[in-house]
Amino acid sequence: MEKSKFENLQVFQLAEKLADYIWNIVIFWNHLATDTVGKQIIRSADSIGANIAEGSGRYNFQDNLTFVKIARASLYETRYWLRRAYNRKLLTNQQISIINPIVDELSPKLNGYFKYLEREAKK
Protein backbone atom coordinates (compact mmCIF):
# COMPACT_ATOMS: atom_id res chain seq x y z
CA MET A 1 0.00 0.00 0.00
CA GLU A 2 1.34 3.40 -0.99
CA LYS A 3 2.04 5.86 1.80
CA SER A 4 -0.18 8.91 2.10
CA LYS A 5 1.38 12.32 2.58
CA PHE A 6 0.46 12.48 6.28
CA GLU A 7 2.31 9.23 6.99
CA ASN A 8 5.59 10.99 6.23
CA LEU A 9 4.97 13.68 8.85
CA GLN A 10 7.11 13.35 11.96
CA VAL A 11 4.17 14.46 14.07
CA PHE A 12 2.07 11.59 12.71
CA GLN A 13 4.88 9.06 13.20
CA LEU A 14 5.29 10.18 16.83
CA ALA A 15 1.54 9.88 17.39
CA GLU A 16 1.63 6.32 16.05
CA LYS A 17 4.65 5.50 18.19
CA LEU A 18 2.87 6.72 21.32
CA ALA A 19 -0.37 4.90 20.48
CA ASP A 20 1.43 1.63 19.73
CA TYR A 21 3.54 1.82 22.88
CA ILE A 22 0.46 2.44 25.02
CA TRP A 23 -1.39 -0.43 23.35
CA ASN A 24 1.51 -2.80 24.03
CA ILE A 25 1.34 -1.92 27.72
CA VAL A 26 -2.42 -1.98 28.21
CA ILE A 27 -2.92 -5.42 26.63
CA PHE A 28 -1.23 -6.91 29.70
CA TRP A 29 -3.38 -5.15 32.30
CA ASN A 30 -6.12 -6.97 34.22
CA HIS A 31 -9.75 -6.69 33.12
CA LEU A 32 -10.75 -3.87 35.49
CA ALA A 33 -7.76 -1.70 34.54
CA THR A 34 -8.22 -2.40 30.83
CA ASP A 35 -11.96 -1.81 30.91
CA THR A 36 -11.64 1.54 32.67
CA VAL A 37 -8.38 3.41 32.20
CA GLY A 38 -7.02 1.18 29.44
CA LYS A 39 -9.79 1.68 26.92
CA GLN A 40 -9.80 5.42 27.53
CA ILE A 41 -6.06 5.85 27.13
CA ILE A 42 -6.00 3.73 23.98
CA ARG A 43 -8.85 5.74 22.44
CA SER A 44 -7.31 9.09 23.26
CA ALA A 45 -3.84 8.08 22.05
CA ASP A 46 -5.23 6.57 18.82
CA SER A 47 -7.27 9.72 18.27
CA ILE A 48 -4.14 11.87 17.96
CA GLY A 49 -2.90 10.19 14.79
CA ALA A 50 -6.41 9.53 13.48
CA ASN A 51 -7.22 13.24 13.55
CA ILE A 52 -3.96 14.17 11.85
CA ALA A 53 -4.82 11.68 9.11
CA GLU A 54 -8.42 12.82 8.78
CA GLY A 55 -7.45 16.47 8.65
CA SER A 56 -4.96 15.87 5.88
CA GLY A 57 -7.70 14.26 3.82
CA ARG A 58 -9.94 17.31 3.99
CA TYR A 59 -8.16 19.11 1.14
CA ASN A 60 -8.24 22.56 2.70
CA PHE A 61 -6.18 24.13 5.40
CA GLN A 62 -9.09 25.37 7.54
CA ASP A 63 -10.57 21.88 7.95
CA ASN A 64 -7.11 20.47 8.55
CA LEU A 65 -6.57 23.05 11.31
CA THR A 66 -9.75 21.92 13.03
CA PHE A 67 -8.58 18.32 13.10
CA VAL A 68 -5.13 19.28 14.38
CA LYS A 69 -6.87 21.10 17.24
CA ILE A 70 -8.78 17.91 18.00
CA ALA A 71 -5.53 15.93 17.85
CA ARG A 72 -4.00 18.36 20.35
CA ALA A 73 -7.01 17.94 22.64
CA SER A 74 -6.61 14.16 22.38
CA LEU A 75 -2.96 14.52 23.38
CA TYR A 76 -4.03 16.43 26.49
CA GLU A 77 -6.61 13.75 27.25
CA THR A 78 -3.90 11.12 26.85
CA ARG A 79 -1.73 13.02 29.34
CA TYR A 80 -4.61 12.89 31.81
CA TRP A 81 -5.07 9.14 31.41
CA LEU A 82 -1.32 8.59 31.71
CA ARG A 83 -1.41 10.41 35.06
CA ARG A 84 -4.35 8.29 36.19
CA ALA A 85 -2.62 5.08 35.11
CA TYR A 86 0.63 6.05 36.84
CA ASN A 87 -1.10 7.11 40.05
CA ARG A 88 -3.01 3.82 40.09
CA LYS A 89 0.25 1.90 39.74
CA LEU A 90 -0.60 0.62 36.26
CA LEU A 91 2.51 2.17 34.69
CA THR A 92 6.04 1.65 35.93
CA ASN A 93 8.68 4.34 36.22
CA GLN A 94 10.49 2.68 33.33
CA GLN A 95 7.40 2.86 31.10
CA ILE A 96 6.84 6.51 32.03
CA SER A 97 10.49 7.26 31.24
CA ILE A 98 9.84 6.01 27.70
CA ILE A 99 6.38 7.59 27.26
CA ASN A 100 7.16 11.08 28.60
CA PRO A 101 9.82 11.95 26.02
CA ILE A 102 7.45 10.93 23.22
CA VAL A 103 4.67 13.10 24.66
CA ASP A 104 7.11 15.95 25.29
CA GLU A 105 8.29 15.82 21.67
CA LEU A 106 4.82 15.36 20.22
CA SER A 107 3.29 18.41 21.88
CA PRO A 108 5.53 21.08 20.25
CA LYS A 109 5.46 19.21 16.93
CA LEU A 110 1.66 19.33 16.93
CA ASN A 111 1.80 23.04 17.70
CA GLY A 112 4.36 23.55 14.95
CA TYR A 113 2.22 21.65 12.47
CA PHE A 114 -0.76 23.77 13.49
CA LYS A 115 1.21 27.00 12.96
CA TYR A 116 2.38 25.77 9.55
CA LEU A 117 -1.19 25.03 8.48
CA GLU A 118 -2.33 28.38 9.83
CA ARG A 119 0.28 30.19 7.71
CA GLU A 120 -0.68 28.18 4.65
CA ALA A 121 -4.37 28.92 5.18
CA LYS A 122 -3.63 32.66 5.10
CA LYS A 123 -1.86 32.51 1.74
What is the domain-level CATH number for residue 107?
1.20.1440.60
- Assigned domain for 118 exists: yes
- Domains: count for the chain: 1
Distance CA 82, CA 4 (A): 30
- Assigned domain for 37 exists: yes
pLDDT of residue 120: 86
For the chain, give percent helix, strand, coil, nearest 5.
Answer: 85, 0, 15
**Is pLDDT at 1 greater than 60 in this prediction?**
no
- Assigned domain for 80 exists: yes
Report yes or no: 69 and 47 within 8 Å, Cβ to Cβ.
no
pLDDT of residue 2: 52
Domain of residue 96 covers: 5-19+30-122
pTM: 0.94
Distance CA 15, CA 109 (A): 10
pLDDT of residue 3: 59
- Of residues 75 and 118, more confidence is placed in 75
Distance CA 48, CA 12 (A): 8
- Assigned domain for 24 exists: no
Name the amino acid, one letter, at 101: P
Q: How many residues does the chain have?
A: 123
Distance CA 12, CA 7 (A): 6
Mean pLDDT, to the nearest integer, of 101-106? 98
pLDDT digits (tens, 9 = 90+) for 12-62: 999 999 999 999 999 999 999 999 999 999 999 999 999 999 999 987 888
pLDDT of residue 89: 98
